[in-house]
Amino acid sequence: MTQIFAHRGYSASFAENTMGSFIAAEKAGADGIELDVQLSKDGEVVVIHDEKVDRTTSGNGFVKDFLFKDIRKLNANKKGIRKEPIPALEEVLEWLKTNKLICNIEFKNGLIPYEGMEDKVVNLVQKYNLSNRIIFSSFNHYSIVYSYRIAPEIQTAPLFIESIYMPWVYSQSIRAKGIHPRHSTLPDEIIKTTMENGIAVRPYTVNKDAHMRRFFQIDCTAIITDDPVKALNLRKLYQKG
């Protein structure tokens, strides 16, 4: 059955990359969550998508220029009633110990090369003994190859915006167990062949009914979606058992 990963949590209805959004995804019945990580000025792994805090919080400026104690004061739930801080990755991992969700951690280090971020994330995942429920992804493929070198027990999956030739060959060459392509990138035949070669395929960000139906009908490994509730309803319709 196709797994449903809640993109930045249940971000269609809750503030993205917040504990509220992750908890809502779990309550909805998602199989997993996806989240983005970066480093604060003092080296704390924080969960936020953009390099700057401006779009998603009450503050302004680069994540890398905030001390953790200061970034925690910002409100990451600007449109909501209840104030929510930017989570530390550690807080999310602690909460993951209370449930069975899979967690896809995306290293957001394409623009800012946060030194030592992979090591810090690996140490946290190992501290909480969650290696078998974590998937590392990134558009920065050097980063996931590095994470594989230091922690081969934790699965990796390169992110793609554009199509690549024989993605299963590429994945195997970097020891990745999966690929996370943009949903419109790969035709069904390539997705199927990739899966037949033992490589998981988890397209992002699958929000439209027709796109969800397409991936359910080909029994894709997983979809990454903002709306896990819609996906769960459609999965019931298109996949039995």
Q: How far is the CB of 103 from Ca ion (least distance, A)?
A: 12
**Residues in 142-181 at the binding interface with Ca ion, rule: CB under 5 A:** none
| Nearest partner of 104 among 135, 128, 125, 132, judged by Cα | 135
Q: Which is nearer to ligand G3P, 7 or 120 (CB)?
A: 7
Among 26, 106, 118, 227, binds Ca ion (CB under 5 A): 106
| Nearest partner of 122 among 88, 152, 100, judged by Cα | 152
57 with 76: CB under 8 angstroms?
yes
Instruction: Region of 73 please: left (phi>0), alpha (psi -120 to 50) or beta.
Output: alpha
Tokens 């970097």 found at: 174
Q: Which is nearer to Ca ion, 31 or 106 (CB)?
A: 106
- List residues near ligand G3P by CB under 6 A: 7, 34, 36, 49, 106, 137, 159, 180, 204-205, 224
- Name the amino acid, one letter, at 23: I
- What mask of x and - would describe binding to Ca ion in positions 26 to 55, judged by CB under 5 A? ----------x-------------------
Q: How far is the CB of 81 from ligand G3P (least distance, A)?
A: 25
Tokens standing for 193? 């062949």
Q: Which is nearer to ligand G3P, 144 or 159 (CB)?
A: 159
Give the whole-angstrom CA distance, residue 154 versus residue 201: 17
Task: Answer with the entry of ligand G3P, Ca ion, none that 159 interacts with (C-beta below 5 to 8 A by kind).
Answer: ligand G3P
Tell me which stretch binds Ca ion (CB under 5 A): 13-21, 103-111, 172-180, 187-195.
103-111
Q: How far is the CB of 49 from Ca ion (least distance, A)?
A: 6
Tell whether residue 16 is a contact of Ca ion (CB under 5 A).
no
Tell me the torsion sign for CA atoms 5, 8, 10, 12: negative
Tokens 């992750």 found at: 22
Residues noted as catalytic: 7, 49
